[in-house]
């Protein structure tokens, strides 16, 4: 596998500047295309699975995190508070507290549950500069997050459905699971008291039939979780996706719903992330594919190579007909050099005098295969179908 830091810079996907700071990469246009494509894919996947999207601010009052428990259990990973007009504001270390308040903003009935609230939102982690690098360890994280507010009886089905979405997204991205980890609490005072046994039992049922390791000391402070582990080129594991069961924050925020019995009950929160942080997901995509992204994610999907200046008008006409397919013309330099430069582009199209005269296109694939020349309309329709978001 490749090192995403090196390749990411070579391919012009992202960069950094000491004046912005360590762990704060910026995204260049081609990187932003990959990122936006992933975000669109995930939002659509979630919409189809019954999630509703929200937006919430990346800041909150310190008091909010005192209630959620982050302030007492997670403060070492948080940026220090900022004093503004008598309030102490903090960059949020997670999205859950905001989503809990959105849930609490009005009365809830059992008929609304499971209520699935999703957001691709910013969160911040005050990592030490020594561990930062590229996109895989950053201080400003864009998280594909969601919180499912549900009854205790709905938790297992919701957690299983989330795991199924994770596997589906990995298929679409062409990345694989290194290992499933059931992350349990360990010794020490990092964890809140609560319904751990029940949560662990539920997650064990969700993992039934899958190979997994139970590891102590890796749980969230508020509950156990399933971590979907990926591996980088050096075999180092990290967590990309998670499914967590939480009885703690519903209690802390006093969340309620009115049951069929007309009495008030407390929901459970399933925290889940399908593709984890956008930064880490793209780092993994770069390493696994060596920059040859699945066609739907490729910054450039079609590269048009006019053999000489005489075919340039034909290339421009084809470019106009590419519609939503991301296409560009490469006209400078020898044909061989241009083909090599575009080796990561899913479809390279050579336009010679024969093709121009016949209104045809000849396609070269990334594996070096060359398809027979065919009418332009047919080739463009086929490419449009193959680059479509899965």
Residues at the contact surface with Zn ion, assessed by CB under 5 A: 96, 271
Q: Which residue has the tokens 């739907």?
A: 296
Asked if omega into 325 is within 30° of 0 (cis), the reply is: no
How, if at all, do strands 237-246 and 225-231 pair? Answer: antiparallel
Buried b (16+ CB within 10 A) or exposed e, 65-90: bebbbbbebbbeebeebeeeeeeebb
Residues 355, 56: Cα–Cα separation, whole Å:
52
Nearer to Zn ion, 270 or 356 (CB): 270
Alpha helices in the chain (DSSP H): 4-10, 29-48, 62-68, 70-73, 96-104, 155-173, 196-207, 248-252, 278-289, 312-320, 335-341, 353-358, 376-386
Residues 97, 61: Cα–Cα separation, whole Å:
11
Structure-token pair, residue 84? 């503004």
Structure-token pair, residue 271? 């925290």
Nearer to Zn ion, 69 or 346 (CB): 69
Q: How far is the CB of 145 from Zn ion (least distance, A)?
A: 6
Nearer to Zn ion, 96 or 159 (CB): 96
Q: How far is the CB of 101 from Zn ion (least distance, A)?
A: 13
Nearer to Zn ion, 117 or 350 (CB): 117
Structure-token pair, residue 57? 């601010």
Q: How far is the CB of 97 from Zn ion (least distance, A)?
A: 8
Query: For residue 205, what are the CA distances in angstroms to 210, 212, 230?
Result: 10, 12, 22
Whether residue 108 contacts residue 258, with contact meaning beta carbons closer than 8 Å, is answered with yes
Q: How far is the CB of 117 from Zn ion (least distance, A)?
A: 10
Closest residue to Zn ion, Cβ-based? 96
Name which of 342, 328, 344, 332 is nearest 289 in CA terms: 344
Nearer to Zn ion, 94 or 348 (CB): 94
Residues 303, 301: Cα–Cα separation, whole Å:
7
Per DSSP, the three-state class of 165 is helix
Q: How far is the CB of 147 from Zn ion (least distance, A)?
A: 6
Whether residue 245 contacts residue 223, with contact meaning beta carbons closer than 8 Å, is answered with yes
How, if at all, do strands 115-124 and 52-53 pair? Answer: parallel
Q: How far is the CB of 228 from Zn ion (least distance, A)?
A: 16
Q: How far is the CB of 94 from Zn ion (least distance, A)?
A: 5
Q: How far is the CB of 146 from Zn ion (least distance, A)?
A: 8
Q: How far is the CB of 221 from Zn ion (least distance, A)?
A: 11
Nearer to Zn ion, 33 or 96 (CB): 96
Nearer to Zn ion, 119 or 287 (CB): 119
Q: Which residue has the tokens 């190979």?
A: 211
């Amino acid at each position: 596998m490749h090192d995403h830091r090196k390749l990411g810079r070579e391919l012009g996907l992202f960069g950094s500047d000491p004046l912005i700071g360590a762990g704060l990469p910026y995204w260049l246009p081609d990187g932003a295309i990959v990122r936006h494509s992933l975000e669109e894919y995930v939002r659509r996947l979630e919409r189809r699975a019954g999630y509703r999207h929200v937006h919430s601010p990346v800041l909150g009052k310190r008091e909010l995190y005192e209630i959620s428990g982050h302030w007492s259990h997670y403060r070492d990973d948080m940026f220090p508070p900022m004093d503004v007009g008598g309030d102490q504001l903090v960059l949020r270390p997670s999205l859950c507290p905001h989503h809990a308040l959105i849930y609490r903003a009005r009365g809830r009935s059992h008929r609304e549950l499971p209520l699935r609230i999703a957001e691709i939102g910013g969160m911040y982690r005050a990592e030490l500069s020594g561990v930062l690098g590229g996109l895989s360890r950053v201080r400003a994280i864009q998280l594909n997050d969601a919180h499912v507010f549900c009854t205790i009886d709905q938790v297992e089905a919701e957690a299983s459905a989330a795991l199924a979405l994770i596997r589906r997204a990995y298929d679409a991205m062409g990345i694989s699971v290194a290992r499933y980890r059931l992350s349990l609490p360990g010794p020490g005072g990092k964890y809140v008291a609560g319904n751990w046994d029940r949560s662990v039992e539920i997650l064990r049922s969700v993992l039934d039939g899958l190979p997994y390791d139970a590891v102590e000391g890796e749980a969230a402070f508020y509950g156990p979780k399933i971590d979907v582990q990926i591996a980088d080129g050096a075999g180092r594991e990290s967590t990309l996706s998670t499914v967590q069961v939480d009885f703690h924050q519903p209690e802390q925020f006093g969340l309620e719903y009115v049951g069929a019995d007309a009495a008030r009950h407390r929901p459970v929160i399933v925290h889940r992330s399908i593709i984890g942080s956008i930064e880490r997901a793209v780092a993994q995509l770069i390493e696994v594919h060596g920059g040859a992204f699945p066609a739907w994610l490729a910054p450039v999907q079609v590269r048009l190579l006019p053999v000489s200046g005489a075919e340039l008008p034909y290339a421009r006409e084809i470019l106009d007909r590419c519609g939503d397919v991301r296409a560009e013309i490469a006209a400078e330099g020898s044909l061989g050099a241009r083909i090599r430069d575009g080796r990561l582009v899913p479809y390279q199209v050579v336009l010679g005098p024969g093709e121009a005269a016949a209104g045809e296109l000849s396609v070269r694939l990334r594996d070096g295969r060359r398809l027979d020349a065919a009418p332009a309309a047919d080739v463009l329709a086929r490419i449009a179908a193959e680059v479509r978001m899965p």
